Structure 1
Amino acid sequence: MPTVSVKRDLLFQALGKTYTDEEFDELCFEFGLELDEITTEREQISREQGDCKASGASEVVLYKIDVPANRYDLLCLEGIARGLQVFKDKCAPRYRRVSPASGEPQRLLVTSETAAVRPHAVAAVLRDITFTQERYDSFIELQEKLHQNVCRKRTLVAIGTHDLDTVCGPFTYTAKLPADIHFRPLNQTQEFTAVELMSLYKTDSHLRHYLHIIEDKPAYPVIYDSNGVVLSMPPIINGDHSKISLKTKNVFVECTATDLTKAKIVLDMMVTMFSEYCELAYRTETLSSEFINRKVGINESTERIAGLLTKMCLRSQPTGAGDQIQVEIPPTRSDVIHACDIMEDAAMAYGFNNIPRTTPGTYTVANQYPLNKLTELLRQDLAAAGFTEALNFALCSQEDITDKLRKKLFETRAAHIANPKTAEFQVARTTLLPGLLKTIAANRKMPLPLKLFEISDVVLKDETKGIVYSTFFPGRCAEVFVCGVSVGRLGVLHPDVIQRFELTMPCSALEMDLEPFL
């Protein structure tokens, strides 16, 4: 769960009420949050950077609040304050877009060159903002929280924020050869080419973690204004020309991405947290109060449940058709995907401690699944015999179960992944041998002998095919039968298999199917 640090007094000011620590802890619990720690700026800096760094820090009280990983709207003080105010029936924000008083809305043009590196981009403008130091810090911190959370360390989405009054639209998002991109990056005093920047930031404690995202690409993404000024080279660095400051009044926000849905979510979070002037996509869902009552275990009226959902930032009202409730889902609640998510919010608003305890309607006696019981007994016996258990991925490369084991593809009965993200996870494993042999290869420096075992699932498409023994050395392998049924094979692995897994010592293996024993 992400942890958000907020200044207590600023939070209470935004809430319009002062709480004791115990009262605020209880409020967080009711809302589905957790007050993890109460500290001060001095204590936090001292713990993170040492006492010498904390000498000039203040004694301002900080609340460290754990928020659910899917509640991106609670990653800053503004979002937490707004959510709690709605929960306490003090406000019900409505977001709308206002056309600029002078001229047409800004445009961000996306060229085809970006398709091979980072194909998507979305943008918005926040107008007439007044930054204080606290608001500015929160704005920057929200970007970093989003980068580490939904943006997956900028691999899915990268956020750029710019002072709109320093640049001129329309803006162009394109990709160019690294040597053809040159600009003055944020907080630098001279221009660099993209090639020079990648070299410069290899030693940067913060930015070096993002270089790998594009450094091997033939072209780098870049955003220009209509005068050729570089706004940013995502996902690495913004240009210094358009950097925002406390004096910034209009902010141009751009999100470049490999995932368009995530880009829209991130843009929604940025504009809804800091502006009341942006219209975003609302959607509605309809569900019955009977569904919520049954799933939560309560018995409330349709009107009461609609009120509970409204407290959770989901404006709701009865439709008048039976017990149906129309729920409006704002752009801040990207975590609401299914009716069960709405039901969960109703339960939180009702209060988990208020839900009556009931005895389950059905009575059952739990029992361990026979296959699990057998495998647990085998694990204990093998470990007692001096073997070490390995736990490998259930997916592997196609080469692992074919060429490396001296088998043809049609012989493997493998289930193929339709859209594998990496060559290491192309098929579901049909045998445990590749994983074990890779484990041995990674531990070649360990003292011999290496005695490993793994008891886990394999996936086979068709049980009518025969078993092929080319993996083992001819004349030094055998098939294992139990009551006339083939349950496995054992022997010395073929030298070609040993070599293909980069091993240098002979290996023996026993592979058995446990299900026929049940």
Structure 2
Amino acid sequence: MPTINVYKRDLENLVNMSLSDKTIEDKFPMMGVEVEEIFEEIKNNKKEKIIQFSVNPDRPDYLSVEGLARGFRGFIGIDKGIPKYEVKESNVEVYVEDVELRPYCAFAIVRNVIVDDMVLDSIINLQEKLHWTIGRDRKKIAIGIHDFDKVNPPFCYKEIGGNELKFEPLGYDVEMTPEEILQKHEKGIKYAHLITNNRYPIILDKDGNVLSMPPIINGNLTKITTNTRNLLIDITGTDKNAVENTLNILVSAFADRGGTIYKVIVKDKKDIKIYPDLTPKTDEVDLEFINKRLGLDLNPGEVINALRKARMDAEYNYEKNNIIVKIPAYRVDILHKVDFTEEVAIHYGYDKFTGKFPHVATIGEKHTLEKKFDFIRNIMIGYGFFEVMNLTLSNQEVLFKKMKIDMDDNKYVEVLKPASLEHRVVRPSILPLLLETLYTNKHNELPQKIFEVGDCVVIDENDKHLYTKCKNVGKVAFAIIHPNANFNELKSYAEGLLREIDIDYTLENYHHPSFIDGRCAKIISNEGKTIGYFGELHPEVILNFDLEYPIVGFEMEL
């Protein structure tokens, strides 16, 4: 989960009350934000207390001190209902030409923001956290925050060639072309892979000054300082909803700082849009739906009070016997009625929930498959293997590319909104993760013998009873690494395991891209189904995981 560091003094100013360390440690976890640590740091020759919060990725509005203060004031009942942000008219316009690479953009102006060192740190940190979470490391959205007083509207957003102009990128006092920025600037080198068509998105003002080269770097001209009072915000990207949602989160944070939001008119060849749009969304939720899932018997007034503490507006609908809820524009995480249920649980108070014995006249016991897992664990430990437990989420790089497996030939389940780029695919196989574990333990002596028993998720489009067309499959995998690891050693362990779990099987030669040809076998059950494979890993696979010795591996479906 992303973490943010917040100055305690800044948090207290925004909440408008003093907070003891104990209050912070007790209250914030109850509103769904973990307190990792509280420590002191010297800032501008003054000792400042810093609080490190761990924020769920589904709450990007909590990735800043402004959002945390806004949520906390609601949680303790100081403020209730949707925050009222006035959005004033302006005549500032942005002209959008054809931008193939990142076609969506949104702009806003926020005036009269007092920028001190703490606010400046907050702006930079919020920008980077939103880049990482909503932006998927700038792939979906890129953010530019500029000193509005240093440029002249109207603005233009377009694509140019790599050598059409020069400007000073942020942090440099030397002018560079877009191509030179990708080759020499640290941000250009890091994000060069996002420029795929040799055309460079650029934002210019009336006089041709460069504000930004999204998604790479802003111009030095519009750098934010403690003298800045008026901000121009640009969001560009490949996903329209992500662009608009990010803008709403940012302007709400700056409005909480006392800033005044102004609209910007965005014109392209087909349409005219006005940003930001902070109009609340409206939804409905049944009282019974909430009570049934929480095991409570709340009346409409209690539910409405909880939702208002969550900084939403809510009212009872007598005709339908449900609650009409208005959702603020910065709450981009509300997708389903279950989300309202969670908000009611948080703001009703987790500490008020009490345990209940289920009305079931049976005694629980382990599932048959779990018993089998335990039995296999005992066998493998008896063979001298160490058990490891990896996450069930990984990525295409580890699961396929490093294993020499063509992703186009394999269907897999990908997480829609992963917490990080490293954890975006639900594993269909365990063996690649064992190789990662071996890499992590390169410093330990050899031989190393490790195994894992656990669930994988595979696509099954032929099963008409599966609504999701995918299913959980239990698998066992093990790997051995040492200078003399070979097929015969592996085969003895494989046959020993198959014998102990009483499986009738036959072995056949198997061609698998991850293994050396002629040194890999597949396991066929007496029903004629291939249930597993084992063999000597291909040298290229071993090098892909930055390992140096022969490795043999086994994997089988249970």
TM-score interval (norm. to shorter): 0.7 to 0.9
Q: Displacement, 1:274?
A: 0.9
CA distance in 2, matches of 1:251, 1:479: 63
CA contact (8 A) 1:154 1:210 kept: no
Residue 60 of structure 2 is aligned to residue 76 of structure 1: no
Alpha-carbon displacement from aligned partner over 1:459-495 (angstroms, at most 9, x marks no partner): 66679xxx9966399999998777x53365999979x
Alpha-carbon displacement from aligned partner over 1:137-156 (angstroms, at most 9, x marks no partner): 33333223323333233233
Q: Out of 141, 144, 147, which is 2:125 matched to?
A: 141
Q: Secondary structure at the match of 1:192?
A: coil
Q: Displacement, 1:214?
A: 3.1
CA contact (8 A) 1:34 1:66 kept: yes
CA distance in 2, matches of 1:299, 1:400: 53
CA contact (8 A) 1:441 1:502 kept: no
Residue 107 of structure 2 is aligned to residue 123 of structure 1: yes
CA distance in 2, matches of 1:26, 1:173: 47
Name the CA shift for 1:383/1:252 in 2 (closer, same or farther; >3 Å): same
CA distance in 2, matches of 1:427, 1:354: 35
Query: What is the identity, as a one-letter code, of the residue corresponding to 1:135?
Result: V
CA contact (8 A) 2:385 2:450 kept: yes
Q: Secondary structure at the match of 2:38?
A: strand
Counterpart in the other structure of 2:93:
106
CA distance in 1, matches of 2:401, 2:123: 46
TM-score, length-normalised on structure 2? Answer: 0.69
CA contact (8 A) 1:106 1:170 kept: yes
CA distance in 1, matches of 2:433, 2:11: 52
CA contact (8 A) 1:40 1:58 kept: no
Q: Secondary structure at the match of 2:244?
A: helix
How many pairs align? 477
Unpaired runs of 5+ residues, structure 2, are: 263-276, 464-506
* Correspondence list, 1:12-27, <5 A: 12-27=12-27
Counterpart in the other structure of 1:486:
528
Query: What is the identity, as a one-letter code, of the residue corresponding to 2:94?
Result: R
Q: Displacement, 1:327?
A: 0.8
Give 1 or 2: higher strand fraction.
Answer: 2
Residue 182 of structure 2 is aligned to residue 198 of structure 1: yes
Q: Displacement, 1:330?
A: 0.1
CA contact (8 A) 1:74 1:80 kept: yes
* Correspondence list, 1:106-255, <5 A: 106-109=93-96, 111-112=97-98, 114-115=99-100, 117-202=101-186, 207=187, 210-214=190-194, 217-255=197-235
CA distance in 2, matches of 1:439, 1:2: 24
Name the CA shift for 1:318/1:105 in 2 (closer, same or farther; >3 Å): farther
Counterpart in the other structure of 2:84:
94
Name the CA shift for 1:294/1:227 in 2 (closer, same or farther; >3 Å): same
Percent identity of equivalent pairs? 28
Query: What is the identity, as a one-letter code, of the residue corresponding to 1:17?
Result: M
Q: Secondary structure at the match of 1:287?
A: strand
CA distance in 2, matches of 1:346, 1:225: 46
Query: What is the identity, as a one-letter code, of the residue corresponding to 2:528?
Result: S
Q: Secondary structure at the match of 2:108?
A: strand
Q: Displacement, 1:162?
A: 1.6
Counterpart in the other structure of 2:282:
284
CA distance in 2, matches of 1:90, 1:107: 36
CA distance in 2, matches of 1:491, 1:338: 42
Q: Displacement, 1:314?
A: 1.2
Residue 306 of structure 2 is aligned to residue 266 of structure 1: no
Counterpart in the other structure of 1:344:
342
CA distance in 2, matches of 1:394, 1:5: 28
Q: Secondary structure at the match of 2:131?
A: helix
CA contact (8 A) 2:182 2:189 kept: no
Name the CA shift for 1:167/1:428 in 2 (closer, same or farther; >3 Å): same
* Correspondence list, 1:16-95, <5 A: 16-42=16-42, 57-87=45-75, 88-90=77-79, 92=81, 93-95=83-85
Q: Displacement, 1:191?
A: 1.1
Query: What is the identity, as a one-letter code, of the residue corresponding to 1:381?
Result: I
Name the CA shift for 1:213/1:266 in 2 (closer, same or farther; >3 Å): farther
Higher Cα Rg, which structure: 1
CA distance in 1, matches of 2:406, 2:66: 57
Q: Secondary structure at the match of 2:51?
A: strand
Q: Out of 229, 237, 240, which is 1:257 matched to?
A: 237
Alpha-carbon displacement from aligned partner over 1:92-141 (angstroms, at most 9, x marks no partner): 521242112xxx242241x33x32x3333222121343434443333333
Query: What is the identity, as a one-letter code, of the residue corresponding to 2:278?
Result: L
CA distance in 1, matches of 2:442, 2:35: 47
Query: What is the identity, as a one-letter code, of the residue corresponding to 1:182?
Result: K
Q: Secondary structure at the match of 1:270?
A: helix
CA distance in 2, matches of 1:121, 1:99: 19
TM-score, length-normalised on structure 1? Answer: 0.74
CA distance in 2, matches of 1:507, 1:136: 51
Query: What is the identity, as a one-letter code, of the residue corresponding to 1:291?
Result: F
Q: Displacement, 1:180?
A: 2.7
CA distance in 1, matches of 2:297, 2:552: 64
Alpha-carbon displacement from aligned partner over 1:7-61 (angstroms, at most 9, x marks no partner): 333433333333433344444344333444333222xx7xxxxxxxxxx631233
Q: Displacement, 1:283?
A: 0.4
Counterpart in the other structure of 1:331:
329
CA contact (8 A) 2:300 2:323 kept: yes
Q: Out of 300, 303, 327, which is 1:302 matched to?
A: 300
Q: Displacement, 1:348?
A: 1.2
Unpaired runs of 5+ residues, structure 1, are: 46-55
CA distance in 1, matches of 2:437, 2:11: 51
Query: What is the identity, as a one-letter code, of the residue corresponding to 2:9?
Result: D
Q: Displacement, 1:228?
A: 2.2
